[in-house]
């Protein structure tokens, strides 16, 4: 819960480049966790966010992305797993989140990389590989574009 709140605070106040949907999604996650804490017997402890449609393309896609976040996942594979066309996946993401599926995956990987750096779990070069970057320099550029500092400087702040 503390990690969710810290991430929300970072996205809401400190990171001006965050798409508007990210803090909204985090707010829903926080509320979901609070409801599950207060009503543990009535609400399952795993599964979809409360109030979300479980059968929608976006919901199913986010589940797949979450499960396969650090595996190689192409847009074609995602569409195949959803049993829909690639263009429908792209249109759904663009309409609902204002971002492409692959951009969301890259963004989510960078978010996780930041938390791994904060905890000192891995080095920037290890994270570059984990996040699917073949070069540390490409990872560093993407990280700096998102967070405003290099991975090394980000890790040094902890």
pLDDT averaged over the chain?
80
Whether 19 is in a domain gets the answer yes
Band the pLDDT of 54: cuts 50, 70, 90: very low
Looking at the chain, the whole-number percentage of residues with pLDDT higher than 70 is 65
- The answer to whether residues 117 and 158 touch, using CB atoms and an 8 Å cutoff, is yes
Pull the structure tokens for residue 62.
Answer: 């986010």
**Dmax over Cα atoms in the chain, in whole Å?**
48
Looking at the chain, the whole-number percentage of residues with pLDDT higher than 90 is 50
Whether 69 is in a domain gets the answer no
CA 130/CA 89 separation, integer angstroms: 25
Average pLDDT over residues 118-130: 90
Band the pLDDT of 119: cuts 50, 70, 90: confident
Helix (H) or strand (E) segment spanning residue 127: helix 124-130
Q: What is the pLDDT of residues 144-153, one digit of tens each?
A: 999 999 999 9
Residue 34 CB neighbour total at 10 angstroms:
12
Number of domains in the chain: 1
Look at residue 27 in the predicted model and tell me its pLDDT.
64
Look at residue 3 in the predicted model and tell me its pLDDT.
63
75-82 and 101-119 helices cross at what angle (nearest 10)? 110
Whether 70 is in a domain gets the answer no
DSSP assignment, residue 49? P
Average pLDDT over residues 75-98: 94
Look at residue 56 in the predicted model and tell me its pLDDT.
86
Whether 112 is in a domain gets the answer no
Task: Evaluate if residue 132 carries a pLDDT over 80.
Answer: yes
CA 113/CA 110 separation, integer angstroms: 5
Look at residue 15 in the predicted model and tell me its pLDDT.
60
Residue 110 CB neighbour total at 10 angstroms:
18
Pull the structure tokens for residue 118.
Answer: 């904060």
Whether 6 is in a domain gets the answer yes
Domain that holds residue 6: 1-51
Q: What is the pLDDT of residues 56-66, one digit of tens each?
A: 899 999 999 99
């Amino acid at each position: 819960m503390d990690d969710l709140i810290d991430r929300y605070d970072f996205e809401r106040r400190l990171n001006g480049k965050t798409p508007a949907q990210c803090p909204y999604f985090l707010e829903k996650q926080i509320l979901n966790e609070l409801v599950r804490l207060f009503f543990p017997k009535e609400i399952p402890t795993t599964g979809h966010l409360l109030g979300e449609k479980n059968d929608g393309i976006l919901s199913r896609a986010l589940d797949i992305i979450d499960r396969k976040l650090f595996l190689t996942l192409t847009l074609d594979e995602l569409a195949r797993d959803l049993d829909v066309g690639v263009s429908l996946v792209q249109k759904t993401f663009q309409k609902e989140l204002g971002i492409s599926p692959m951009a969301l995956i890259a963004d989510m990987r960078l978010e996780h990389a930041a938390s791994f750096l904060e905890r000192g779990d891995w080095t920037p070069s290890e994270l570059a590989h984990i996040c699917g970057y073949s070069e540390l320099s490409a990872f560093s550029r993407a990280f700096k574009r998102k967070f405003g500092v290099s991975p090394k400087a980000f890790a040094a702040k902890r």
